[in-house]
Chains A and B, each alone.
Chain A
Amino acid sequence: MRSTLKLAVPFAVAALALGACGTKGGDTTPAAGASGGAAKVCDQKIGMFGALTGPNANLGIYIQNGVNLALDDYNAKHADCKVTLENYDSQGDPTQAPALAKKAIDDKKVVGLVGPAFSGESKAADPLFNEAGMVAITPSATATTLSTNGWKTFFRVLGNDATQGPAAAKYIKDTLKSTKPFVIDDATEYGKGLADTVRQDLGASVVGTDTIQTKQTDFSATVTKVTASGADAVFFGGYSPEAAPMIKQLRDAGFKGTYVVADGVKDASYLKNAGSAAEGTIITCPCVPPDVAPEFQTAYKAKFKEDPNTYSGEGYDAATILLDGIGEGKDRKSMLDYVKSFDKKGVTKQLKFDDKGESSEIKVFAYKVENGKIVSIGEIK
């Protein structure tokens, strides 16, 4: 979802060189293995890699909750041989990712990872996991390019931005029946990537486009462009800090159309900052709404006293794949083939990967802001 800070690349390269020396003995340690699991290895771990503190911590914690729930399920069934969770708190910062990745790789008890959660840190850490042969299943990173690097250990249990963009365009065209859409982006890798796809898919009907800057607060020129174009829908590719004041100023200027945004805006701060102007906003997200998996929703609510949030179910699924593998006696090395041929029903979807590690079943959902809450209005088909 987030893809920033190219700074991390040099660090990643440096750490790669170091990591290569560090992992030599790694593959051989857990002695029991694919050969049937007669001698059971206990005391194994799975890792959770993502922002658990810092400004983006909410997303990491939603995922971590899902992972913890999967762990509870597993440990209840395997009380004699429990698996524990090791947290790698990146704060969503790509510059911290390589060092944490190395730490995970060096811990021989870690069989596989859930994460990294964001696209930027995935870019920095995934090459190391690939080198070490450690499976990393991301429940939330959506940058399209991640699956095109030939990393054989990269898997993701959700759709990427190349599926979210067309879905948003489809929604604007087919459901909203917009004849005059206006497309805005924030010039970030994420926002521009999405907006470009939407613009392309909507084609000639687009009445205008504009690019804003992150941290901008006064959108008067953009607002004038939108109102002057007579747009009946606005798509904004970007994050909530800009999305909220933008819609507020659009509504203040009398814009009556629908505001469509993507998963970068799906958090509570958007609702708070946009206030009543947020009403009716359509948010697209490859994240599965809680009511699709009622049992998961009930279990989650019982443990965390709230409904599953963005990417909780995906976190649960990613962890379940790894735990199933451990249950069948897989170690770090044999886990890779196990995940590659995995094909079971998870709480969010059928869990199966293509040869690039992309989820073979991809769904994008539409959400709507109603009475100050983000509610699911079903899949975009």
Chain B
Amino acid sequence: MQFLIDNFAALTITGLAIGAVYALIALGYTFVYGVLRLINFAHSEVFMYGSFAAVWVVMILGGNVSGSTGQVIFWVAMMFVAAMLMSGFVAVVIERVAYRPLRKRNAPPLIALISAIGASFVLSEAMGLREKIARWFGLDDTLRDYVSNSRNNVPLPTIIKPQGVFNLFGYEVTNVDIFVIVGAIAMMIVLDQFVSRSRLGRGIRAVAMDPEAAALMGVNRDRVIRVTFLVGGVMAGAAAVFYLLKIGITRYDVGFILGVKAFTAAVLGGIGNLRGALLGGFVLGLAENYGSAIVGTQWKDVVSFLLLIVILLFRPTGLLGESLGKARA
């Protein structure tokens, strides 16, 4: 306990940083759930593909630690572009291949859930076996740096050295911490504005509230769903970049644990609720860090899930309540 009090600032900042990543991934779950009443379990792989795209683009551009400020900004910008494009693309493909055919046939939601889990396995294993897949095309030598040891960790070349910017109660807050936390909140605000102000956002809300009425009013439901997946994917791509800057490695199965955590964050904040995802992510990140400090790191996950259960006992719809339509009018 004394340890928690002494290192409160450090635990809070690092908890918020990882919480920001949870929140951005949680958005994807919440967004799709709000519109389709469906948990997209393949969303964790959307994140994972984004993280690989970000690493590869830095490798292609030859990013390294001694780059000038301009270069670093360029590399990070390219990471965002690559990760968002890749994640958005994968998310849309998942929707097209794994969900739309089922929706067209009016399959029950459970079938879509199985389809989601299947898609998740296929995507994750495809990345884990990328060396073999490259070999089929005779590309494993050309692409050696990108595909070899495909089941091992893949590091992001260091492009930013974390440096203390200011001191907060004895903890040196680093540039990376600030970038991750502020960046995630900024993305959240942009998304919130997009949903509440733009024409497409209005369509999304309409479909979330009442799909049939929306269709009668001339909203193209398929298009809205595609946009929903795309936006969720783009946010996961951004999360992948923040994650890499903070953690520095990725792996073909990295999505699994993060996906579970992000899903938890979404439920914690109230699934289907955008601001709830942000709050849920931060609360989860902090709870993990404080919990580790009090009872030991090996209990980290136990603490966070205990918190989830307790909160759901008292607020069954999460901290901010469910529903994309209502909570955010």
Contacts and interface: CB of A to CB of B under 8 A. Distances in A.
Contacts of A274: 155
Interface in B110-163: 149, 151-155, 157-158, 161-162
Contacts of B253: 215
A254 B298 CA distance: 23
Given A211-B297, A217-B247, A220-B289, A225 B155 contact: no
Contact of B292 (A215, A221, A244): A221
Interface string A23-52: 000000000000000000000000000000
B151 A244 contact: no
Interface in B5-28: 6-7, 10-11, 14-15, 17-18
A252 B14 contact: no
Nearest to B172: A254
Interface in A238-295: 241, 244-245, 248-249, 252-254, 269, 272-276
Contacts of A211: 296-298
Contacts of B201: none
Contacts of B174: 252
Contacts of B251: 217, 241
Interface string B165-184: 00000001010100000000
A100 interface: no
B288 interface: yes
B300 interface: yes
A228 B253 CA distance: 32
Given A244-B249, A254-B172, A269-B152, A218 B7 contact: no
A220 B18 contact: yes
Given A221-B293, A225-B3, A249-B248, A272 B18 contact: no
Contact of A221 (B65, B247, B248, B289): B289
B157 to A, nearest CB: 7
Contact of B300 (A55, A221, A275, A276): A221
A249 B247 contact: yes
A334 B296 CA distance: 54
B297 A217 contact: no
A275 B155 contact: yes
A221 B276 CA distance: 25
A169 B14 CA distance: 31
A227 B7 CA distance: 10
A270 to B, nearest CB: 10
A217 B243 CA distance: 10
B257 interface: yes
A55 to B, nearest CB: 5
A228 B7 contact: yes
A217 B249 contact: yes
Given A244-B249, A245-B248, A275-B157, A224 B10 contact: yes
B209 interface: no
B102 interface: no
How many B residues touch the partner, as a band? 35 or more
A228 B3 contact: yes
Contacts of A210: 296-297
A213 interface: yes
A362 interface: no
A228 B158 contact: no
A282 B7 CA distance: 28
A245 B18 CA distance: 15
B296 A276 contact: no
A223 interface: yes
* Residue of B65, B162, B247, B289 most packed against chain A (CB within 10 A): B247
Contacts of A276: 65, 158
B54 to A, nearest CB: 15
Nearest to A242: B153
A222 interface: yes
A244 to B, nearest CB: 6
A85 interface: no
A222 B297 contact: yes
A212 B248 contact: no
Contacts of A245: 153, 247-249
A248 B3 CA distance: 23
A223 B251 CA distance: 21
Interface string A198-230: 000000000000111101011011111101100
B254 interface: yes
A162 interface: no
A217 B157 contact: no
A168 B151 CA distance: 30
Contacts of B158: 275-276
A223 B247 CA distance: 12
Contacts of A253: 162
Contacts of B249: 217, 244-245, 248, 273
Given A218-B18, A273-B154, 11 more contacts: A211-B296, A213-B301, A221-B288, A221-B289, A224-B293, A225-B293, A241-B152, A241-B153, A248-B248, A249-B248, A269-B149
23 contacts: A55-B152, A212-B297, A213-B298, A215-B257, A217-B251, A220-B14, A221-B14, A221-B288, A221-B300, A223-B14, A224-B10, A224-B11, A224-B14, A225-B293, A225-B297, A227-B10, A241-B152, A244-B155, A249-B247, A254-B164, A273-B152, A273-B154, A274-B155
Interface of B: 3, 6-7, 10-11, 14-15, 17-18, 65, 149, 151-155, 157-158, 161-162, 164, 172, 174, 176, 246-249, 251, 253-254, 257, 288-289, 292-293, 296-298, 300-301
Ranked 7 nearest A-B pairs via Cβ: A221-B292, A220-B14, A211-B298, A252-B162, A273-B155, A273-B153, A224-B10
